[in-house]
């Protein structure tokens, strides 16, 4: 049994235990415990969505969180209420990239997260406040990436929220989130510089980010998996802007490094997403040099990604990649 | 013998409460507080017998597991998380949803969060 299968089995086993315990809890006599268990069930569906049938599991997570909200109120348990809103916001954001009516899900994500943000006091709950800002920034980033209008406005909103998150995050309390926020802040600044045609700021922003990330990784001894991926994204943006092959090569280097840190045996979805990006990069490379070998590499990465998307029942992604493979093969 | 037993019970109870307090202590080094919590909770467990009070024993194991799960967030190695999961599973041996639905739900919920990580 592979690691992914083991993880799925573990999560499903835990899910069945939670459902059993729910049978013995009454929403009338123990509403908070009942709601808490529903929230855990939501978290488990969300975790399962990483490994299998994302759309279906994310919808089941939403149903569980909405059930939880029935038993919480902003007046009786504001922090629990806010934490469910945060979870809901995260799942809606994930659903936006899986559903055709993305805009509806983005709006649901933003309204849930902004409602949660109003409940947290940054002086009293700095970590919750910061991580909610971080999630809002992610929603704006995804809105910009999805091509919905107001591109520059969304990226600027993402920048505003991620900077707010960094202002309240205490690195030692959650090193992983701090590093993640740091790298996302850099990516957002790079995207904004590209959109606003401030080419002179690009190299500077990347250098600054790289230095900060390197220091943080050493100081906080944390796993820097995501940074490699995001550096791949950053150099791709540089290449798109300048059409310089050196940036494209660097983007490939960082993505390939990221792929070793997100092995398909543990992170099938991340592995598929990085492979899709690598396919795109090699396809772009083929337009400049070694057309046949680079195109072959692109196809092989896309095939790898398509296999994983297929196993995750993401048929639209599979269709899109098959179309690319077929176009590239001709 | 009864005196010794009563004193052990008190010693376990105080250490159990100290363990919970250290885990929640907002001041000082978080890692040090969690390690103190683990020491106290282990002392409490060493001086308790599950057969005296299955639920209280399960709650101690649950608190110990919570401390390891919190420590995992700081250390970023899987060792502490593995220990947390082991203690949650041990705790579930002493409590069932029929006997104490709330305790069972709490421990299962914690185990689920650890398995998600």
* pLDDT per position as a tens digit, B73-100: 877 667 899 999 999 999 999 999 998 9
Cα radius of gyration (chain A) = 21
Range of the domain at A31: 1-71
Decide if A326 touches B, using CB distance below 8 A.
Answer: no
Asked if residue A221 belongs to a domain, the reply is no
Contacts of residue A224, Cβ cutoff 8 Å, sequence gap at least 6: A179, A213, A217
Query: In whole angstroms, how far apart are CA A176 and each of A42, A50, A180, A183, B25?
Result: 23, 19, 6, 11, 22
CATH of the domain at B40: 1.25.40.10
What is the full per-residue pLDDT of chain A (330 aa) written as tens digits?
567 888 899 999 999 999 999 999 988 888 888 999 999 999 999 999 988 888 899 999 999 999 999 888 788 789 989 999 999 999 999 999 888 889 999 999 999 999 999 999 999 999 999 999 999 999 999 998 887 777 889 999 999 999 999 999 988 777 778 888 888 888 888 888 888 877 777 777 777 777 766 666 666 555 567 778 888 888 888 888 888 899 899 999 989 988 988 888 778 888 999 999 999 999 999 888 888 888 889 888 998 888 888 877 777 777 888 888 888 765
Q: What is the distance in angstroms between the Cα of B109 and the nearest Cα belonging to chain A?
A: 6
The number of domains in chain B is 1
Q: What integer is the mean pLDDT of B7-12? A: 87
Domain boundary among A71, A97, A118: A71
* A36 part of a folded domain: yes
* CB–CB contact A24 B104 (8 Å): yes
Q: Is residue A93 part of a domain?
A: no
Q: Which residues contact A263 (CB under 8 A, 6 or more apart)?
A: A271
- Comparing CB atoms, the residue among A44, A174, A223 nearest residue B112 is A44
Q: Which of B85, B109, B111, B117 to mutate to test the interface with A (most CBs of A within 10 A)?
A: B109
The answer to whether residue A110 is domain-embedded is no
The range of the structural domain enclosing residue B104 comes to: 2-116
pLDDT in tens, B24-59: 888 888 899 999 999 999 999 999 999 999 999 999
| pTM (two decimals) | 0.79
Tokens standing for A301? 């990465």
CB contact under 8 A, A14 and B97: no
Residue of A nearest to B92 (CA): A17
CB contact under 8 A, A40 and B76: no
- Among A25, A52, A71, give the residue marking a domain's end: A71
Under an 8 A CB cutoff, do B105 and A33 touch? Answer: yes
Top pLDDT among B1 and A141 is at A141
- Counting the structural domains of chain A, the total is 2
Residue, of B3 and B84, whose pLDDT is higher: B84
Q: Which of A114, A131, A227 is nearest to A174 (CA)?
A: A131
């Amino acid at each position: 049994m592979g690691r992914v299968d083991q993880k799925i089995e573990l999560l499903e086993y835990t899910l069945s235990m939670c459902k059993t315990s729910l049978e013995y809890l009454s929403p009338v006599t123990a509403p908070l415990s009942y709601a808490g268990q529903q929230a855990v069930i939501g978290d488990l569906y969300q975790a399962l969505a990483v490994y299998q049938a994302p759309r279906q599991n994310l919808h089941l997570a939403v149903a569980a969180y909405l059930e939880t909200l029935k038993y919480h109120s902003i007046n009786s348990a504001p922090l629990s209420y806010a934490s469910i809103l945060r979870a809901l916001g995260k799942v809606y954001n994930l659903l936006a990239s899986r559903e055709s009516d993305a805009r509806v899900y983005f709006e649901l994500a933003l309204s849930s997260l902004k409602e949660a943000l109003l409940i947290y006091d940054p002086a009293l709950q700095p970590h919750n406040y910061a991580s909610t800002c971080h999630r809002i920034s992610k929603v704006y980033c995804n809105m910009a990436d999805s091509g919905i209008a107001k591109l520059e406005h969304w990226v600027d909103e993402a920048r505003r929220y991620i900077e707010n998150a960094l202002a309240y995050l205490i690195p030692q309390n959650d090193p992983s989130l701090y590093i993640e926020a740091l790298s996302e802040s850099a990516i957002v600044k790079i995207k904004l510089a590209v959109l606003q045609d401030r080419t002179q700021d690009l190299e500077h922003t990347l250098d600054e980010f790289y230095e900060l990330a390197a220091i943080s990784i050493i100081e906080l001894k944390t796993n820097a998996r995501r940074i490699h991926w995001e550096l791949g994204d950053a150099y791709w943006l540089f290449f798109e802007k300048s059409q310089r092959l050196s940036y494209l090569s660097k983007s490939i280097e960082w993505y390939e490094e990221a792929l070793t840190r997100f092995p398909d045996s543990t992170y099938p979805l991340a592995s598929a997403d990085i492979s899709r990006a690598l396919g795109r990069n090699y396809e772009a490379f083929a337009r400049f040099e070694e057309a046949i070998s680079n195109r072959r590499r692109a196809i092989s990465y896309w095939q790898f990604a398509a296999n994983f998307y297929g196993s995750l029942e993401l048929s639209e992604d599979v269709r899109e990649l098959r179309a690319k493979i077929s176009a590239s093969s001709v | 013998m009864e005196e010794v037993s009563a004193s052990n019970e008190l010693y376990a109870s105080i250490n159990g409460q100290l363990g919970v307090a250290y885990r929640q202590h907002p001041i000082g080094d978080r890692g040090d507080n969690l390690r103190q919590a683990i020491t106290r909770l282990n002392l409490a467990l060493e001086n308790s017998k599950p057969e005296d009070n299955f639920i209280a024993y399960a709650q101690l194991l649950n608190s110990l597991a919570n401390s390891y799960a919190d420590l995992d967030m700081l250390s970023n190695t899987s060792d502490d998380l593995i220990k947390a999961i082991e203690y949650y599973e041990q705790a579930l041996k002493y409590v069932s949803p029929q006997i104490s639905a709330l305790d069972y739900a709490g421990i299962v919920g914690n185990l689920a969060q650890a398995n998600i990580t």
